[in-house]
Structure 1
Amino acid sequence: MEIDFLQSLEHLGFTARIKRLNERIVSSTVSHYARHHMDIDPNWHVIFLLLKSKGPLTVTEIASSLGFSHPAMIKITRKMREHGYLDMYKDPKDGRKTCISLSEKGKDVLPYFEKEWENIRTVLQEVVNPDFLIQLTELENALDNQSFSERYNLRFGQNSPTMDYTIRNALPYEFAGIGQLLVSVYSNLEGFPKANEQPEYYESLANIGEFTHNPGVELLVALSNTNQIWGAILYFSDMTHYGAPNVKFPKSDVSGFRLLAVDPSARGKGIGRALSNACIEKAKKSGHKQVLIHSTAYMKPAQRMYKQIGFKRHPQIDFKLNGLEVYGFRLPLA
């Protein structure tokens, strides 16, 4: 019997084998659904089951729950709506949000679909060992905790001079370039509000240097060895000027940072973590007992990094910015 070339590659064949396996399963699933007159596509079942479990959700909430990209969820939910399985309507509490729920047709066919999905589960249990699912979860968790790029650079990045960078307080002539970086990074976040939706927010990004006119505010920049701006972050030793509407911060012993951005060409070098840690070190030197920060549903990689550092969700400081949900996180230092 001829040896499977991808198997012979071992770890170098891993991603190709995953892709090949996915294509094989998707093809089989399409044929299976057609034979059983199920007018659905592969992976629609996760949307059905998620909406049954949690009720109406936005596209962003669906993408966040499943770990899929925002554009992919838009495409799938629109197609499901075209087939009559979903209803979409404006959130009565916030007209900027579109809620997605199972339609009457979706609810009617769900019991039949669920019965067939249970049959599929039974068949898959014959070929998918429970230990494989455990190992798959461990793999996903490992890559969430530390990405491939971070692992690679930890082992090999320090050997290349192109990976060198320094972190220091930004100089006034660098403010405009940092503002341009921030506007570019945030406007390109999938699903994140654009400049026409949050004009004041983007104006503050473009004029990031203005924050430093306030006491206790520092703008840190990460520079390559050729002085290219690779990243930036805003640090607050005094939370008076942090800028979180209706949030009451402790009057002392607390620092914060926000508006972290890393140039796409420099990602995977650990710059975001280094900038965050630089702020944390400043907080420690100030004798502060905690660091408070914020993030949104569109910043999952940053949230994973914050959790790796030790931050935990702190709902007491959640707020909304013109309808945008902003989530609080806290890192105790003492």
Structure 2
Amino acid sequence: MDFFEQTGKVAIGSRLRMLTDKVTEDAANIYQLYNIDMQPKWFPVFYSLSQGEEKTITELAKTIGHSHPSVSKIIGEMLKKGYVKESKDTADGRRNVISLTDAGQEVAYKIKDQLIDVDAAIEELSAQTQNKLWEAIGEWEFLLEQKTLLRRVMEKKKERDSAKVEIVAYKPEYQEVFRALNVEWISTYFEMEESDYKALDNPKSYILDQGGHILVALYEGEPLGVCALIKMNDEEYDFELAKMAVSPKAQGKNIGFLLASAIVEKARSLGAAKIYLESNTILKPAINLYHKLGFKKVAGKPTPYTRCNIQMELVIK
């Protein structure tokens, strides 16, 4: 077990597989001990059928938590062994149901003593441990059902990547990347418009000199995301969140959320009460991000962009 002491919990799959192999090997020998001709992998299907109710393969798969192809394969093996039979459902002739044969029923009777002894052995084993494996497995299954291990690892990766992101104020040296990132995403989905050129070609005069701000996201020092806070001459809104763009190679690193959050905080520090934005519903990740930040859809205002089909606001509290 030195290997697992070195690797730690990251090798949990390999360690569980080794434990499963050990238990499965013992299970095969236990069946021999009781003179029962059974493969360990058949047991969930066999036990479900031994409770007396015939079932379809789909019902069996749902009952034991296996895939349909897996159960279908097991049923095929048990059919060859003569332990199960397949017949038409008397209530619905379109369905085939599986049930135990007389030979299968004999095994179900013989296996009772084995199950009693196995249960007692497991109880004895559990009593010798500080941690109750059976209960722990149930807890793990429940928690992984709520959120998979993959999803949990993705979140940890995002957290680690986020720690490498630094949000900084715009400098003239970032004008080229500010323009390039926005042109890239706009051109991917839409066409560049006159208002785009005004803001991207002259960010200083169009945004900064008018009381606006631009933030840049650096990932390990490289500028990979930008976002602007444009001052609005509007009685209802103080600023517009606009020109947010993230490099495709930075997707999944939480840069969009960090940028937008920083822009909102910037507006709050400036005493803003409401932020406005315009977007398009085809940009589902962006719309989801805005909802996550608390933006709500509002009735349309006159817009210079033909691509705009949704307008949103954030009331800063």
TM-score normalised by length of structure 1:
0.46
Report 1 or 2 for greater relative contact order, CA contacts < 8 Å, sequence distance ≥ 6: 1
- Structure of higher CA gyration radius: 2
- Normalized against structure 2, the TM-score is what? 0.48
